[in-house]
């Protein structure tokens, strides 16, 4: 479907419905949006999965970061960056195609020498660059900092909680002090 400028009120209606749905879900079920549906979470997990696939689990990744640079380390790092870049370009192309149209975006190519290059106007190149950079930086590096420092929903969602809201949180009484546990006495009741 093609939406023109005069159809903009659809966006307003969609935004209002989406906002109220989000608030209602948050009141009852806490941070389910953050945990399961927010693109920031999904892309961050996707990029972390790439690291896990190339290097290994968390302990292996910490060890890997401390290792001196070698050909093997450089190869693995380059592979991760390359896959991240591919995901970022796919994400950017998806966003830009909503405006430019998929036919235009994927079929406007020219050949310079033997190299096929997209024949896009400047605004498409600039949009592709901005979305690619934003995706790469957010999911590759910013990650949870986006939630802690920038996301407005992250800042005000606690005001939507009440005593019946489902919340996953750290149990201080159970978790502290950290370290080895003493054997608890067996209670005979």
Using CA atoms, how far apart are residues 38 and 86, in angstroms rounded to an integer? 20
In three-state secondary structure terms, 118 is: strand
Positions in 2-31 near ligand SF4 (CB under 6 A): none
CB atoms within 10 A of CB 38: 18
Our finding on whether 139 is near ligand SF4 (CB under 6 A) is: no
Nearest to 97 by CA among 134, 128, 126, 132: 128
Of 40 and 91, CB closest to ligand SF4: 40
Using CA atoms, how far apart are residues 167 and 161, in angstroms rounded to an integer? 9
Our finding on whether 147 is near ligand SF4 (CB under 6 A) is: yes
* Degrees, nearest 5: CA angle 73-141-166: 125
Our finding on whether 151 is near ligand SF4 (CB under 6 A) is: yes
Name the one range near ligand SF4 by CB under 6 A: 69-77, 105-113, 147-155, 169-177: 147-155
Of 72 and 155, CB closest to ligand SF4: 155
Which of residues 95, 104, 153, 161 is near ligand SF4 by CB under 6 A? Answer: 153
Q: Minimum distance from CB of 160 to ligand SF4 (Å)?
A: 12
Positions in 26-45 near ligand SF4 (CB under 6 A): 33-34, 38, 40-41
Return the bridge partners of 115, or none: 112
Q: Minimum distance from CB of 150 to ligand SF4 (Å)?
A: 8
How far is the CA of 157 from the CAs of 12, 19, 38, 89, 103, in angstroms?
Answer: 22, 12, 14, 31, 40
Name the one range near ligand SF4 by CB under 6 A: 54-62, 72-80, 91-99, 145-153: 145-153
Residue reference for tokens 């968390």: 58
Of 106 and 156, CB closest to ligand SF4: 156
Binding site for ligand SF4 (CB under 6 A): 33-34, 38, 40-41, 146-147, 151, 153-154
């Amino acid at each position: 479907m093609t939406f023109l400028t005069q159809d903009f009120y659809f966006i307003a209606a969609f935004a209002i419905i989406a906002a109220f749905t989000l608030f209602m879900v948050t009141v009852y079920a806490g941070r389910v949006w953050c945990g399961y549906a927010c693109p920031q979470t999904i892309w961050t997990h996707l990029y972390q999965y790439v690291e896990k696939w190339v290097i290994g689990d968390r302990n292996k990744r910490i060890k890997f970061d401390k290792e001196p640079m070698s050909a093997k380390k450089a190869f693995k790092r380059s592979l991760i960056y390359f896959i991240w870049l591919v995901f970022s370009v796919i994400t950017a192309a998806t966003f830009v195609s909503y405006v430019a149209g998929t036919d235009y975006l994927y079929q406007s190519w020219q050949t310079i020498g033997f190299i096929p290059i997209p024949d896009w106007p400047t605004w498409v190149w600039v949009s592709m660059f901005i979305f690619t950079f934003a995706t790469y930086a957010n999911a590759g590096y910013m990650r949870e900092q986006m939630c802690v420092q920038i996301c407005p929903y992250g800042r005000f969602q606690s005001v939507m909680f009440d005593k019946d809201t489902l919340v996953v949180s750290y149990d201080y009484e159970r978790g502290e002090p950290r370290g080895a546990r003493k054997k608890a006495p067996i209670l005979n009741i």
